[in-house]
Amino acid sequence: MWADTYERDIGDILALQDDVASAIAGQIENHLGGPKPLTLAKTPAISPEAYETYLKANYYLDQFDLQKSIEYYSQVIKLDPDYAPAYAHMADAYFFLGFFSAIPPQQAWGKVKELGVLAVAKDDQLPEGHAALASAKLHYDWDFGGAEKEFKRAIDLNPNNADIRHGYAH
């Protein structure tokens, strides 16, 4: 059931991950007799160098080394200006800088809004982009209805994202 061979160019490593994940999900679905086909999120194309830098940025964001994560996300954007997840996650870093008053909150949330708009403009199907917009609408614009709409859109796109649900709970 699990043995198969996949070959791709190293530049297509993310497409390879998508292929393997889809094949495994399909096998599980067939085995369990799922009622409807599973839909997996598509991974945006990115160069290996930009992706490695993105992973470093995510590591530093997870460690709450927010300035360092922003530096790495900025590098990702220089390497691949169309990679929407970098904008969305950099927005998270700025959100936390503002939340903890490491920089003036209004300055931080203005940056969250700017990055959220860019993320959604580059990929309207990116839940984290809509979550960034929701945070900006909530904390910067005081637009509670708009924030709720963006949070609901993000949850519709990925109902399993606990971080987005946590943000919506506030």
Superfamily of domain 47-169: Tetratricopeptide repeat domain (1.25.40.10)
pLDDT value for 16 = 60
Asked if 42 and 18 touch (Cβ cutoff 8 Å), the reply is yes
One-letter amino acid of 139: H
Helix (H/G/I), strand (E/B), else coil: 24: helix
Confidence of residue 74 (pLDDT cuts 50, 70, 90): very high
Residues of the chain with CATH 1.25.40.10: 47-169
Confidence of residue 8 (pLDDT cuts 50, 70, 90): low
Q: What value does the mean pLDDT take over residues 70-83?
A: 98
Q: Which residues contact 166 (CB under 8 A, 6 or more apart)?
A: none
- pTM as predicted: 0.79
pLDDT value for 45 = 81
Examine the pLDDT at 79 and tell me if it is beyond 90.
Answer: yes
Residue-wise pLDDT tens digits, 42-67: 566 889 999 999 999 999 999 999 99
Comparison of pLDDT for 98 and 8, the residue scoring more: 98
- Round to whole Å and give the CA distance between 88 and 131: 8
pLDDT value for 20 = 62
Examine the pLDDT at 165 and tell me if it is beyond 70.
Answer: yes
- The DSSP element (H or E) to which 57 belongs, if any, is helix 48-62
pLDDT value for 37 = 53
Residue-wise pLDDT tens digits, 124-154: 999 999 999 999 999 999 999 999 999 999 9
